[in-house]
Structure 1
Amino acid sequence: MAIVKPFQCVRPDEISAHLVAALPYDVYNRKEACEITASNPKSFLNIDRPETQFSDDVDTYDSRVYEKARELLNAWISDGTLIKDSTKAYYIYELIMDGRGQTGIVACSSIDDYAQGIIKKHENTREEKELDRICHVDRTDAQTGPIFLAYRSKEDINGIVTRVIGTKPLYDFTAEDGVSHKIWQVTDEKTVGEIEEAFVGVPATYIADGHHRAASAVKVGLKRREENPGYTGEEPFNYFLSVLFPDEQLMIMPYNRVVKDLNGFSQEEYLKKVEETFLVEALGGEACSPVQKATFGMYLNKKWYRLTIKDSFLTKDPVKGLDVSLLQDQLLDPILGVKDPRVDKRVDFIGGIRGLKELEKRCSEDMTVAFSMYPTSIEELFQVADAGLLMPPKSTWFEPKLRSGLFIHPLSAI
């Protein structure tokens, strides 16, 4: 059973919500983050990326940076930009992008569920990225970015959500990128009880996006338990901020790849090596966006190709059968020499939201060959996580992105 709790939220006032709401901290590099915060002093990125408040000679992970995040958060609460709810609540969060909507429940999930595998993951995390968010959460005494969780859809939960969204929303705005956001607050005891009880029938939830935030939140919670040996389990630090979506509403976009060189091969030699494993179809200038599994687009020397892996290389293994694994195991590693895509600087990853033109652009600037992918499905993600396995890096790109700053979960009682 999944433990999903209402919580006392710190959130923007209704007037400031559209200004405060910000894309996740890790969407931007430092330069981009600085540009955003300079243009919008109310953007939550000021708190999520507090290095933007310093000159470039101050390290991103300097202790002063995290202290600045704490100062700004407290200042925004003091001046009324952020308000503290007096009661515990759930929130319903609807995002609409290009006419397609997804609606989730904002709640707190249990760090014990994470430790016991009821909350399932499908990616490894990197220590330095974990440490950054651990410092941020611990110093601000709050979780500021929600973890994106998925679950297998349940009719009773869908019915509750449908009932709530028939009422007037708390927030209703469209962001600069065209994604609309509506949020409803759920405080009445009957509906709160129905939501909590409905999730008792959910055997597992799955981290869709936010593995580093989840791991960091859990580690801070465990640290607080050590510091408070008399803890009861009900303290806020025993839970982490999450938004839970039914699987049927989610869209995963491809996570495309670009590689710096052909590993010493000429173009002719390289194509011959590829033809040993793939059927290769030349498309000329026609961009290739794969429409089925085990097919890939390839852009090389201003021309597109369609690659279809030969049947003898297919597998039913839940990880090795993923398209990202097939490309890595049958082309990137054996032909282009990309042994470990986590650390190899010759490979880069481009979210599908940027489109195929971005692949062409990169190949005209600093890369040589690009690959467009067929997206991983949510069911494939579930299968990998259920098997206790991990996906290769950069296997999924979820859109639309949840906004930070709309919901803040304090780790101490308000």
Structure 2
Amino acid sequence: MLKDARPSYYLYENTTANGARQTALIGICALESLACDVAQNVEAAPSGACLALQCTPAPVTYKRQPVLDVILSAAQQGAPLYDLYDPAGARHRIWHIGRTEAVEAVRTMVQQIPSVSDGSSGVLASMVAHARTARKAAQTAGTYTGREPFNYVLLALYPTDGAKTALPAMPVGFLAHQIAKL
């Protein structure tokens, strides 16, 4: 994973071959700052489910925020950074949000989201459990700084209106392969 030169967010849009569309806000979040019951329900994590490497964003859902919708819709008016089709006919588009004012507007709105729900069947809870274990080991060794990678998670935030919706699997391998060919 590469680090952006300055704070940024990304928008990921998945449009299936039949036209169903879901859009996620992608960003890195400090695990400690997550306002959700995931952190309190770590025992729900599948045993041994978390490796130290996060290969795909952890999908979470949040109650739709109309102001955030407007901000994200404005970001989608520009040309996407990537616009790809997979073999099944699904379209994957990615936009970069890097303008300082836009990043601050998104950050302000995201901080107002009261809570998120783990939409990944325990993946986020597994990461919280791993972070707690790694933090305790680093503290015991006297090497803990708070800036270690295990303190952060890559999230894909999907808005919901309360209905249970299957979140799309983000084809990270396919996307990385196609982007590398560009």
- TM-score w.r.t. length of structure 2: 0.78
Contact 1:209 / 1:398 at 8 angstroms: preserved in 2?
Answer: no
Measured at CA, do residues 185 and 237 of structure 1 come closer, stay the same or move farther in structure 2, by a change above 3 Å? Answer: same
- Residue of structure 2 aligned with 1:236, choices 141, 145, 149: 149
Structure 2: tracts of 5 or more residues without a match: 177-182
Q: CA deviation at 1:150?
A: 0.5
Aligned to 1:221: 131
Structure 1: tracts of 5 or more residues without a match: 1-8, 11-83, 251-376, 379-396, 408-414
Aligned to 1:119: 36
Measured at CA, do residues 156 and 232 of structure 1 come closer, stay the same or move farther in structure 2, by a change above 3 Å? Answer: farther
- Pair 1:169-2:80 in alignment: yes
Measured at CA, do residues 110 and 85 of structure 1 come closer, stay the same or move farther in structure 2, by a change above 3 Å? Answer: closer
Identity of matched residues, % = 25
Equivalences for 1:4-403 in 2 at 5 Å? Answer: 9-10=1-2, 85-97=4-16, 98-113=18-33, 118-121=35-38, 124-128=44-48, 130=49, 133-134=50-51, 137=52, 142-211=53-122, 213-226=123-136, 227-228=138-139, 229=142, 231-248=144-161, 377-378=163-164, 398-403=166-171
The code of the aligned residue for 2:15 comes to I
Aligned to 1:73: none
d(CA) in 1 for partners of 2:45, 2:171: 21
Aligned to 2:180: none
How big is each residue's C-alpha offset from its partner over 1:236-280, in whole Å with a ceiling of 9 and x where there is no partner?
Answer: 3211111001103x9xxxxxxxxxxxxxxxxxxxxxxxxxxxxxx
Contact 2:61 / 2:158 at 8 angstroms: preserved in 1?
Answer: yes
Q: CA deviation at 1:146?
A: 1.1
Measured at CA, do residues 223 and 87 of structure 1 come closer, stay the same or move farther in structure 2, by a change above 3 Å? Answer: farther
How big is each residue's C-alpha offset from its partner over 1:178-234, in whole Å with a ceiling of 9 and x where there is no partner?
Answer: 2211001111211111111111211100111241x2133223322332315464544
d(CA) in 2 for partners of 1:183, 1:99: 17
Question: SS of the counterpart of 1:127?
Answer: coil
Contact 2:7 / 2:103 at 8 angstroms: preserved in 1?
Answer: no
Measured at CA, do residues 125 and 235 of structure 1 come closer, stay the same or move farther in structure 2, by a change above 3 Å? Answer: closer
The code of the aligned residue for 1:120 comes to D
d(CA) in 2 for partners of 1:157, 1:235: 30
Measured at CA, do residues 210 and 173 of structure 1 come closer, stay the same or move farther in structure 2, by a change above 3 Å? Answer: farther
Number of residue pairs aligned between Structure 1 and Structure 2: 168
Contact 1:147 / 1:209 at 8 angstroms: preserved in 2?
Answer: yes
Q: CA deviation at 1:124?
A: 3.1
How big is each residue's C-alpha offset from its partner over 1:61-89, in whole Å with a ceiling of 9 and x where there is no partner?
Answer: xxxxxxxxxxxxxxxxxxxxxxx543432
d(CA) in 1 for partners of 2:167, 2:124: 19
Contact 1:148 / 1:210 at 8 angstroms: preserved in 2?
Answer: no
d(CA) in 1 for partners of 2:57, 2:120: 9
The code of the aligned residue for 2:124 comes to A
- TM-score w.r.t. length of structure 1: 0.37
d(CA) in 1 for partners of 2:167, 2:62: 17
d(CA) in 1 for partners of 2:121, 2:104: 27
Question: SS of the counterpart of 1:240?
Answer: strand
d(CA) in 2 for partners of 1:178, 1:107: 26
Question: SS of the counterpart of 1:209?
Answer: coil
Question: SS of the counterpart of 1:143?
Answer: coil
d(CA) in 2 for partners of 1:210, 1:402: 15
d(CA) in 2 for partners of 1:89, 1:236: 17
